[in-house]
Structure 1
Amino acid sequence: MDAQAKIKDTVSSNKVVLYMKGSPKFPQCGFSSVACQILSACGAEYVTVDVLQDMDIREGIKQYANWPTIPQLYVEGEFIGGADIMRSMYQSGELQELLAKA
């Protein structure tokens, strides 16, 4: 299975997916850490994919959403954005609503 197919399968079969560097317990970059803190603050159940473990996924995820940076949040298969977008959506309450529906 190529990277694009693997990514599509992951975001389709899980309600909330965060592609990040590292893991929620040991994030490997500040933005990934912020993304996990936001999802935890929302009380969201989510799956993470550590892009540092797989270079094909690391490059593939950037093409998948046509978004150059990581982390990337997907809710019900739809690309939401990175840490900055998550932060502003969290502050406006929009992210909590989106996650509550998922």
Structure 2
Amino acid sequence: MEQELKEKIESLIKSEKVFLFMKGTPEMPQCGFSAGVVSTLKQQGIPFGSFNVLSDMKVREGIKEYTNWPTIPQLYIDGEFVGGHDITVQMAQSGELKKKVS
């Protein structure tokens, strides 16, 4: 991965305590899994930043390489990769998500 792209991704991740790489925007998600993570975060009252990977193909492919995780959405908390849709929902149901954010 080129250094410039890596720095851009790291800068995005560090821009908010909770950061989501997703398809679409929180107001208008472009896939069901992205919508599910947005809905989960909102239900938990967790503020988050986001990036629409559909707006930048380099970031879309780069984030998969960065985490070695093949799918989007990808959720980060305190700069650490947490997981995608299923992991986020499971963490919310168990109460772990709120703990990790607080």
TM-score by length of 2: 0.94
In the alignment, structure 2 segments of 5+ residues that lack a partner are none
Look up the equivalent residue of 1:31 and give its one-letter code: F
Post-superposition CA distance 1:24-73 (Å, at most 9, x none): 11100000000000000110111010000000000000011110000000
Equivalent residue, structure 1, for 2:20: 18
Equivalent residue, structure 2, for 1:89: 91
- Tell me how far 1:10 sits from its aligned partner: 1.3
- 1:9-88 aligned within 5 A: 9-88=11-90
CA RMSD of aligned residues (A): 1.0
**Alignment partner for residue 8 of structure 2, among 6, 9, 28?**
6
Q: Distance in 1 between matches of 2:58 and 2:77?
A: 22
SS at match of 1:97: helix
In the alignment, structure 1 segments of 5+ residues that lack a partner are none
Q: Distance in 2 between matches of 1:87 and 1:14?
A: 20
SS at match of 1:2: helix
SS at match of 1:37: helix
- Name the % identity: 50
